[in-house]
Amino acid sequence: AQSVAQPEDQVNVAEGNPLTVKCTYSVSGNPYLFWYVQYPNRGLQFLLKYITGDNLVKGSYGFEAEFNKSQTSFHLKKPSALVSDSALYFCAVRLTGANNLFFGTGTRLTVIP
């Protein structure tokens, strides 16, 4: 069975500081990994994905994530947080050849001015 874990319900960071939102996964094959962001009462917006190749993936709004196969992690990072980055962040996984996408429980990021 495949699963995704986001160990932190809440992450607080000061504006201008680097941010990290953690994600670990458990799958029986090769995973496709994704990050999404959700603003209040809105749908999810795609940020970035890892399919294959370079372990460091760059996405929208200055976000990046690093795929670490040995640690089965895919942490989301940004060098300098903005207040507007405050939102709910979801990590997701899809197995190669599978159609369904499984999400973590989400991490609420608050950037403090």
Partner 1 sequence: SQTIHQWPATLVQPVGSPLSLECTVEGTSNPNLYWYRQAAGRGLQLLFYSVGIGQISSEVPQNLSASRPQDRQFILSSKKLLLSDSGFYLCAWSVGSGTEAFFGQGTRLTVV
Cβ closer to partner 1: 11 or 79? 11
Could you tell me the smallest distance in angstroms from the CB atom of residue 16 to partner 1? 27
Cβ closer to partner 1: 40 or 113? 40
107 forms bridges with which residues in the sheet?
89
Residue choice 20, 44, 72, 82 for contact with partner 1 (CB under 8 A):
44
Residue choice 15, 20, 24, 102 for contact with partner 1 (CB under 8 A):
102
One-letter identity of residue 101: L
Closest to 6 in 3D by CA, of 113, 90, 82, 69:
90
Closest to 29 in 3D by CA, of 100, 102, 92, 95:
95
Query: With binding defined as CB under 8 A, does residue 2 bind partner 1?
Result: no
Residue choice 34, 63, 74, 89 for contact with partner 1 (CB under 8 A):
34
Q: Are 64 and 77 in contact (CB under 8 A)?
A: yes
Q: How many residues bind partner 1 (CB under 8 A)?
A: 25
| The two three-digit tokens of residue 67, written as one number | 């795929």
Residue recorded with tokens 């959700």: 38
Query: With binding defined as CB under 8 A, does residue 101 bind partner 1?
Result: yes
